[in-house]
A and B are shown apart, each in its own frame.
Chain A
């Protein structure tokens, strides 16, 4: 079964608005990663947050991590049409750090 699950499954917003997507996971982790996938392409790493961090920023991206609730959120501020993509969270399993599991993703559509 998958470790991480994203919510919502799909999100449609206007350019300039903020987009928030969430990830919940089941077992303890040492870090959580977010990836973006443009249609027909491979995944691209966006940001990594470690279990001892609560918030991390990278440009227009803001990621939070709440280990007590086993959840993370990705906020994209001032969205652009180019942000249209699917977004996945990935969690390396602590018991076997060689394996990461991915959720089914949130499909974000940003309308110009």
Chain B
């Protein structure tokens, strides 16, 4: 099993450009999450999907959109990138809502100039 995979690993964008970060899990997990991690800080939840077909805002959703394409895939879209969105983005999945360990992908390092 590959676990949680993310693409791309690195990306540089100019202000105003758009892009989609892809995430997929092969563990048949119900819930998936997108976090961002700024230098020296913990993770902040952007969006999460408790189950296929549902998405909910997290702590810092502004400037992002998400799509739960199917049970395996959960994508994060930046419509108009801003320098404040420079961060490392992690996708995670878990069997159910809360109370279960989260499995993390390797991260996408995004720089917006």
**Footprint of B on A, CB under 8 Å?**
2, 30-31, 33, 35, 40-45, 48, 88, 90, 92-93, 96-105
Contacts and interface: CB of A to CB of B under 8 A. Distances in A.
A99 B58 contact: yes
Nearest to A45: B101
Given A98-B48, A98-B50, A102-B43, A43 B102 contact: yes
A99 B50 CA distance: 9
Interface in B66-113: 90, 92, 97-99, 101-107
Interface in B50-72: 50, 56, 58-59
B41 A99 contact: no
Interface string B1-17: 00010000000000000
Interface residues of B, number: 27
Contacts of B58: 99
Contacts, number: 66
The 3 closest A-B pairs by CB, nearest first: A97-B98, A92-B98, A42-B104
A41 B107 contact: yes
Nearest to B6: A42
19 contacts: A30-B98, A33-B101, A35-B102, A42-B4, A42-B104, A42-B106, A42-B107, A43-B43, A43-B102, A48-B99, A90-B102, A92-B99, A96-B98, A98-B97, A98-B98, A100-B98, A103-B42, A104-B41, A105-B42
A42 B97 contact: no
